[in-house]
Every structure is written in structure tokens, then in C-alpha cells.
Structure 1
Amino acid sequence: MNDIVWFYLIAIFIAAGLVKGVTGMGLPTVAMGLLGTFMPLPVAAALLVIPSLVTNLWQLFCGPALKVLWSRLWLMMTGIVVGTLAGSAFLISIDPGTSAFLLGAALMIYAGYALYSPVLNVAKRHERWLSPITGASTGIITGVTGVFVMPAVPYLQALNLSKDELVQALGLSFTVSTLALAGGLYLHDAFQLNQLSLSLFSVIPALVGMGIGQKIRVKISAKTFRKCFLLFLILLGVELTLRPLLF
């Protein structure tokens, strides 16, 4: 890679880590959206694997109820793995314009939902059939776009979990999604050794960004920052969806 690409890579992972440091989530979404503006999505997804895995494992094991959450959500996690492995075939095979359009659409749908923030509740008796459907849907979207927030995040928010349980459940979902995406990329020969080293390097700026974000969080309104972040995702999504029409 030339110097300008290195600069973009470092800046993007610092920015993505900063968002996660302030809001507690968003690193893969921001990184995938920004990387997708100047490189093929399979390459962007491969670079994202280790930074996403490291930060999400930290989030996963800092919570109090991993065993309980796993027993409750294992059907969803199974669906995520199956859906991601199936969807990743499309990420590799579809043309760059279509993949950019789908990524942009996913970003806009997620940001629009998060801005509106409807109050949803899922009764526990419905989890047995909703969990695998939600997991498979999330997995397919992950496999096609590299973004794993929809519909997993709204679904987990609707389960009436405590704040700590929700953070840990998100960490579980994101960790499984990351591992499944890495597996899908590997199965389709889209995860190369040089990408692994770049992905490992990207952990450093991501952690730097997280540290900066955690310091910013105590000085500004997280709600205001989150709104600005979501509006930025919408603009980024618009740019990605319009790109096939403009270029």
C-alpha cells in the first residue's frame, strides 16, 4: 500500500474506535462504511476482523451473565453463523457497485431506525422462533455487506435485558458475527495472510481511538454525539448508494 492508503487506514480506525469509545458500539459499522469508499468490500471486511474481534471480546467478557445469555441466545447465534457463511458467497461474487449500494442501504436503514428509536418488546415465549430468524437475517446481511447490526441490535434491545446484560449480549452477537464473517471470507479465499497482518496492525489505531472516545464521553453529551454519528452514517450511506449511478 502507498502512504496515502496507510494514512486513510489509520485515520479510519482511529475514528471508528473513537465512536465505540463514546457510544459503546459502532466500530465495525463506521470502519466498514469508510473503508468501503475506496476499497472492495471483501478486502475491507478482512481488515476489520481482528480490530472488531479484539474490541468485542473485551465487551463480551466484561459482563456478568455470559452463561445465562448463551443459553438464551444460542439459537440466534447459530442463525448468525449459518446466515453469514451463506451470505459471504455474495460478498465475494457480486460486483463492487452493487455491494457498495447494499452497504449504503444497510447503513441508512440502521441509522434511520436508531434515530427514530421505536420501543419494541419481545415476549419470552416468542424468542424460540424469533431468535433463529433474527440470527439468520443478521447473518445474511453480515455476509453480503460486512455490517452486523441489523436486525440483531433492535432485537436484543427488545428482550428487556438489563443495561449490563444488553452490552454483553451485543458483544456476544458481534463476536460471533465477526468470527463467522472471517470463516466465510476464508472459505471463499478472500482472507489472505497480508490482510491478516494489516488487520492486526489496525488494532492499534482502533484502541487509540477508543481511548480518545472514552475521554470525550465524560466531556460531551453521549446523546448528542450519537445523533451526529447516526446522521453521518446516513450521509455515508447516501454516498455509497449513489456511487453506482455517478461513476
Structure 2
Amino acid sequence: MNTLADYYQNLGLALSVLVIATFVMAGLVKGVIGLGLPTVAMGLLGLAMAPSQASALLIIPATLTNVWQLAFGGHLKQLIQRLWPMLLLIFLGTGIGTVWIGMEGGHWVVRGLGAALLLYALSGLFLPTLHVKPRHESWLGPVCGVITGLITSATGVFVIPAVPYLQALGLNRDELVQALGLSFTVSTLALAGGLLWRGALGGSELSASLLALIPAVLGMLLGQWLRQRISAMLFKRVFFIGMGALGAHLLISG
């Protein structure tokens, strides 16, 4: 508990409140639409702290909520058999990229995070649903995996281009939710390994990340309650607009 208290005392009251509010919001978004916790967390925390510090805080909330997401649906074995080349390249790309590139690039990393968020928002708002033919999965999946891994290693954002690719596979709703959970879990574990290797993920960061799980879970429960009462399509539109505005701000301000 001393390590936990010391970490948040060092952050200060304002940043500690930001962390709690961020994970409530990130959990709420994930509870409504099934994704977005790392994206929201990295975007909001990136306004006030280094991406490597923000990434360390999201490790436990992202891992446990994604494991919960991938555990239900009944399609895990089939999805692993179908997606393992992409998942392997996500893991390798994220792990190698975190060790090689890291998140210590200063302004360019912040701008990279902003660009990734803006690209994600624009694709969600304006691009039609793409369709990948089965014969292209053998090469397109690994390509998307390694690109996703490298972007994750530099920005902590897991979604580009893995999410559009998974949405283009023609999976049903349950399969897609499970596939997203599987992809995000692999990305998070690889990111954690890279941060650990670079010394950016120690006992104090893990303790602080464990505490961040509480607001994240509360936000998820609120999001699941809210999902029954509003249009998911409307919420997605508002979410993408917010992510686009946040990404543009980070891209311009750096």
C-alpha cells in the first residue's frame, strides 16, 4: 500500500483525479461498444503525461477487461486457428517495437498518438465496412498484425489497422467481440513485456495500474447499463467525434 500511495502522491491530486476520471470514462465506452478502453485512456492521459507512463497505468485494466471479453462467446478455439498469424505478428511487432522504438521519442510520439486516434476516428465515421476475401487472409492478416504492433509500440493504441481488419472478416457480433478481446489481450501483454524490458513497468507502476482497475470496472458496469438505454450507433458516432477531436489536438499541439 505504501508503494501505491507513493505513486499517486508523486502524481499529485490533479493528475490522480485525471487518472480515475479517465478510467471511468474508458470503462464506460468499453461497456457500451465493446472496445475503446486503451484508446480513451491513452488519449486522455496523453494530455498530461508521457505515453510510456500512461501505457504502464493501463496494463492491468486493459488485460483483465480484455480477458473477460475474450472468455465468453464460445468461438475462442476457431478464432485462434483463424487469426493466429495476425496475433503472432501483433505480439512480435509490439514487443520488438517497444524494445527497439519505445515511447521516449518526445513530441513525435505524442503526435503519433494523435495521428493514430484521428485516423481511427475518421475510419469509423466515414469509411464503409470493408470486406476481406478468405484467400487474402493468409497475407493481409500478418501485414495488419505487424503494422498494428509497431503502432502499438510507439503510441500505446491497439486499434489501427487491427480493428478495421477484424470488422472486414464478416464475423458475427459475438465472434467479433471475442476477436477484438483476443487481439487487444495479445497487444497488451506484448506491450507489458516491452515496457518491463525497458524498465518502464516496475512494482509501483503495476500497483498503480491495479488501482486503476477499480474505476475501469465501475465504468464498464455503467456502460453496460447505459447500453440498454441508448442507441449504440449514436454512442459510436459521438465516441468517434470525440476521439477525432482529441487526436487532432494531440497532433497539432504535440
TM range (shorter): over 0.9
1:6 to 2:16 alignment? yes
1:155 to 2:165 alignment? yes
CA distance in 1 between counterparts of 2:215 and 2:23 reads 5
Report the Cα offset of residue 217 of structure 1. 1.4
What per-residue deviation string (whole Å, max 9, x for no partner) do you get for residues 89-139 of structure 1? 3233312x1111000000000010011141211111111111111110100
CA distance in 1 between counterparts of 2:240 and 2:217 reads 21
Report the Cα offset of residue 218 of structure 1. 1.5
Equivalent position SS for 1:91: coil
Which position in structure 2 is the counterpart of 1:80? 90
Which position in structure 2 is the counterpart of 1:92? 103
Which position in structure 2 is the counterpart of 1:190? 200
| Partner of residue 124 from structure 1, selected from 134, 156, 159 | 134
Letter in 2 for 1:132: P
CA distance in 2 between counterparts of 1:70 and 1:220 reads 33
Q: Which runs of 5+ in 2 are unaligned?
A: 1-10
Residues 102 and 145 in structure 1, CA contact (< 8 A), matched pair in contact too:
yes
Residues 57 and 209 in structure 2, CA contact (< 8 A), matched pair in contact too:
yes
CA distance in 2 between counterparts of 1:12 and 1:93 reads 22
Worse-matched range after superposition: 211-220 or 5-14: 211-220
CA distance in 2 between counterparts of 1:86 and 1:114 reads 28
CA distance in 2 between counterparts of 1:103 and 1:82 reads 20
1:229 to 2:239 alignment? yes
Which position in structure 1 is the counterpart of 2:3? none
| Partner of residue 41 from structure 2, selected from 1, 18, 31 | 31
Which position in structure 1 is the counterpart of 2:212? 202
Equivalent position SS for 1:186: helix
Q: Which runs of 5+ in 1 are unaligned?
A: none
Letter in 2 for 1:192: G
Q: Report percent identity of matched pairs.
A: 52
Number of matched pairs? 243
Letter in 2 for 1:126: H
Which position in structure 2 is the counterpart of 1:213? 223
Equivalent position SS for 1:207: helix
CA distance in 2 between counterparts of 1:222 and 1:80 reads 28
Residues 59 and 209 in structure 2, CA contact (< 8 A), matched pair in contact too:
yes
CA distance in 2 between counterparts of 1:194 and 1:171 reads 26
Which position in structure 2 is the counterpart of 1:66? 76
Residues 103 and 153 in structure 2, CA contact (< 8 A), matched pair in contact too:
no
Residues 73 and 174 in structure 2, CA contact (< 8 A), matched pair in contact too:
yes
CA distance in 2 between counterparts of 1:92 and 1:192 reads 16
Letter in 1 for 2:122: G
Which position in structure 1 is the counterpart of 2:61? 51
Letter in 1 for 2:244: I
Provide TM-score, normalisation by structure 1: 0.96
**1:106-117 matched pairs, under 5 angstroms:** 106-117=116-127
> Structure 1 segments of 4 or more deviating over 3 A?
none
CA distance in 2 between counterparts of 1:20 and 1:135 reads 22
Residues 70 and 178 in structure 2, CA contact (< 8 A), matched pair in contact too:
yes
